[in-house]
Amino acid sequence: MKKAILCVLLTLVMSANAFALEVPTDTVIQNLNGSQQAIKTYTIPPDQDPAILIEEPFELEGFLYTFANITKTENPVEETKKHTEVITIETAKKDLSVILEHLEPTIEYDDGVFKGTLALDHTSIATEAAGYTTKSYTVTETKTIGQLDRNDMSYVPATTVKDGRTLTLANVEWQVTGTDLVGETLMPSSYQAIATYSAKASYNAATGYITTAEYVGDVTHEGTESITYVLTYLGTELDSRTSKSDGVAGLIGNVGTFLAANWPFLLAGAGLIIAVVFGTLFVRNRRKANCIEDGEIMEEESEEEQEALHQ
């Protein structure tokens, strides 16, 4: 029974230490100028608490080691990579000079991890219409029809064609180009017509322009990748009796620490074990009671059979 309890205690202590401690990357036992030392080295992430590395006093090869000091060394990291950032702007005109007024030669980049200065890549500039709207305008054409003997509209065509589009007659202005003396009065003898033709036309006009441009350059990440801690423990030599008693005391101390830190989980586990034990006992007692009842019934039936035989 005592051996079983001791095994359970050892298991609990080992479990507590396994959860509490990181695995050292290097362990050195040395005697420096008469000072017995155990030096353990750990490398952990920057956000991890170094307090979890400190161990309770422990025995090793006849010495009891206790924590003395800890040193810290940061392991920096620097990484550089190429980065491309795409910038979008809007302009009213598709004019490179106007577009360049809206694009800075360089921009500063910082995403919280990498940072650097990016330069505009002029070859990457691309512009397209943001959208289109329909606009209308009037197409006009003026023709002179001359040396007519009279100002007769039959000489003026009703339509004309310009750039493949048919225009209709909008206005005619008659001009006298020659006169004859009739009696004592000058009378028009020739005319020319100034005919104006027009038609409505439409076209799609851009509502604005969107330009994309790329900024490229090197960005750098600088920070602390990990931290190396060196923990020094000082050792004192133990005799066999002291080692044995201190070992038990250390074991009991570790068990006490484990129980104090994990009592809610142990209490829940104990409750579960008690429930299982009581359930098992209940089933066993129930079965025993059923067996007793079955035995009594069988005994009563046997007595009735014997009485019937005697009769």
Both 14 and 66 in one domain: the answer is yes
Number of domains within the chain? 3
* Residue 303 within any structural domain of the chain: no
Both 194 and 72 in one domain: the answer is no
The pLDDT of residue 216: 98
Q: Which two tokens stand for residue 75?
A: 């392991």
The pLDDT of residue 55: 95
Both 197 and 232 in one domain: the answer is no
Both 51 and 102 in one domain: the answer is no
Both 162 and 36 in one domain: the answer is no
Q: Taking Cα atoms as reference points, which of 228, 197, 195, 188 lies closest to residue 74?
A: 228
The pLDDT of residue 273: 74
Exposure of 20 in the CB half-sphere (CA atoms within 13 A): 17
Both 217 and 112 in one domain: the answer is yes
DSSP state of 20: H
The pLDDT of residue 7: 44
Both 145 and 161 in one domain: the answer is yes
Both 70 and 28 in one domain: the answer is yes
* Residue 267 within any structural domain of the chain: no
Both 173 and 232 in one domain: the answer is no
**Segment 220-238, tens digit of pLDDT:** 999 899 999 999 999 999 9
The pLDDT of residue 300: 55
Provide the b/e sequence for 134-160 (b: ≥16 CB within 10 Å): eeeeeeebeeeeeebeebeeebbeeeb
Both 82 and 219 in one domain: the answer is yes
Beta strands in the chain (DSSP E): 26-32, 35-44, 58-60, 63-91, 106-110, 115-148, 159-162, 165-182, 185-237
Both 126 and 22 in one domain: the answer is no
The pLDDT tens digits along the chain (311 residues) read: 444 444 444 444 444 443 445 789 999 999 999 999 999 999 999 999 999 999 999 999 999 999 999 999 999 999 999 999 999 999 999 999 999 999 999 999 999 999 999 999 999 999 999 999 999 999 999 999 988 999 999 999 999 999 999 999 999 999 999 998 888 888 999 999 999 999 999 999 999 999 999 999 999 999 899 999 999 999 999 975 454 455 555 555 555 444 544 445 556 556 667 766 666 676 666 766 665 555 555 555 555 555 554 54
DSSP state of 258: H
The pLDDT of residue 290: 65
Both 93 and 212 in one domain: the answer is yes
* Residue 107 within any structural domain of the chain: yes
Beta strands in 92-114 (DSSP E): 106-110
* Residue 43 within any structural domain of the chain: yes
Measure the N-to-C terminal CA separation of the chain; round to a whole number of Å.
61
Q: Which residue has the tokens 């990498």?
A: 114
* Residue 108 within any structural domain of the chain: yes
Burial of 181 per CB tally in 10 Å (0-12, 13-18, 19+): exposed
* Residue 275 within any structural domain of the chain: no
The pLDDT of residue 17: 42
Helix 2-20 vs helix 240-310: angle between axes, to the nearest 10 degrees?
120
pTM above 0.85, yes or no: no
* 248/261 Cα distance (integer angstroms): 20
* Residue 237 within any structural domain of the chain: yes
Q: Which domain holds residue 92?
A: 78-133+206-223
Q: Which two tokens stand for residue 113?
A: 């991890």
The pLDDT of residue 105: 96
* Residue 179 within any structural domain of the chain: yes
